[in-house]
Amino acid sequence: MTAGVSPAPTAPTYLSRTQEYALAVTVAVVTANAYYIHPIIGEVAQDFGVSEARIGIVPALNQLALAIGILLLLPLGDRYSNKSLCIIFVSAQAIFMLIMALAESFAAFTIASTLLGFVTIAPYLIPAFASKRVAPQRLGQVTALLTAGVIFGILVARVGAGVIAETFGWRSVYWCAFVLIAGVTVFLPITMRAGTAPAKTPRSGYLALIASVFTLAAQHRDTMVSAAIQALNFAAFIATWLALALHLTSDELGYGVDTVGYLAGISALSILSTPRLGSWADKVGPRRARVIAAVIQLIGISLFYPFGFDVWTILIPLVIVNLVGPSIDVTGRMTFLSLEPEIRTRLTTSYIVIMFLGGAAGSILGTAVYDWAGWGGTCVLLLAISGLVVGLSVIAKSLWADPALK
């Protein structure tokens, strides 16, 4: 090589399609861990001899620990290898899952579940990892594929845990989950094998790294608006399903809890639609796509009240909402996952924490409003939230232009 002449830049090495799908499976398995408890919570309470009120602390602490873990651990992804962090934290999940399967006391089970939530950050590290290793024109498609993995994980956890526990008991659910997470851990080094990792941020102190999350959030107002939109979107999702469970099992309608579970299977539609909508967002731009998806979702939500008193007619708005709802999250992430690689994980931290705050608000509002004003009041609440999603999406599109489309 001639002195003084810089070597030609190395062509980027992208993930293979097999790796992309393997990452989606990884996201599904890891995400499912927080949702196995939902259908079997009664059996767990009975086995440990605790009340239904007391058993509620298990998923509550798991979600709280998850939010704290995202805030305190996810920013490390902009300082250390996403691959190494995923291997460490997924391995820790496998250990805590094993403890849950073996736990002989309620305290041990609860502590293990809480720690499991704290280290569940791989579903949020992996999109940042993938965004740095896919062609820019495929960012939406791959982000949507990983989002579909999240949806699939939740769906399998809710449906599968109930079926397995009914036949083999609730501990078998966690043994199966342990086998799955252990298998993912073994293959993770291969799944996340890719080209040279992008340069990391300067090795400042940990507290400075956490502080930079707030600094970056202040500098990227577009990302914060995307986070607010998704917080409202997630709040509507949580409120819908909590209120729907109460509505369908009320004296007025009289359906069983199994009906609610069957309706949850509609989420499978999102697995098919979300990747395609992500590809479409790559073509038309994330902000424009988000406005269109938000408007369609508003139309679907407006049908909840007139169609909401029969299990068959309510399928119509549920299908509409489940087809386009996840794409609002995908397009929101696209607005910052296309920015500099070294800041994406910390921006993801702000985005996810704000999203979970929205989910917490939806959990409270969904049950409280239904208790106060019934299904009609819930539908008004959902319309108001969805209207805000549309409004903020329109404002974001007017303030920040999509990048030039090819």
Rounded CA separation 151/154 (Å): 5
Q: What pLDDT, on a 0 to 100 scale, did the predictor assign at position 406?
A: 43
pLDDT(146) > 60: yes
Domains and CATH numbers, the chain: 14-199 (1.20.1250.20), 201-406 (1.20.1250.20)
Phi, psi dihedral angles at 402 (to 5 degrees): -70, 150
pLDDT in tens, 304-360: 999 988 888 988 998 888 888 888 888 888 888 777 777 777 888 888 888 877 877
Rounded CA separation 248/250 (Å): 6
pLDDT in tens, 238-283: 778 767 777 877 778 777 656 666 676 776 676 677 777 777 887 8
Number of other residues whose CB lies within 10 A of the CB of residue 120? 25
Rounded CA separation 315/168 (Å): 32
Amino acid in the structure at residue 92:
A
Contact present, 154 and 274 (Cβ < 8 Å): no
Number of other residues whose CB lies within 10 A of the CB of residue 162? 20
pLDDT(403) > 60: yes
Amino acid in the structure at residue 58:
V
Q: What is the pTM of this model?
A: 0.71
Rounded CA separation 308/314 (Å): 5
pLDDT in tens, 92-122: 999 999 999 999 999 999 999 999 999 998 8
Q: What pLDDT, on a 0 to 100 scale, did the predictor assign at position 140?
A: 73
Contact present, 390 and 295 (Cβ < 8 Å): yes
pLDDT in tens, 20-29: 888 889 999 9
Amino acid in the structure at residue 209:
L
Residue 368: both structure tokens together: 């409280």
Rounded CA separation 353/172 (Å): 32
Residue 79 vs residues 14, 201, 388: alpha-carbon distances, Å: 21, 6, 35
Nearest to 352 by CA among 75, 38, 27: 75
Average pLDDT value over all residues in the chain? 81
Residue 190: both structure tokens together: 């291969």
Rounded CA separation 132/222 (Å): 20
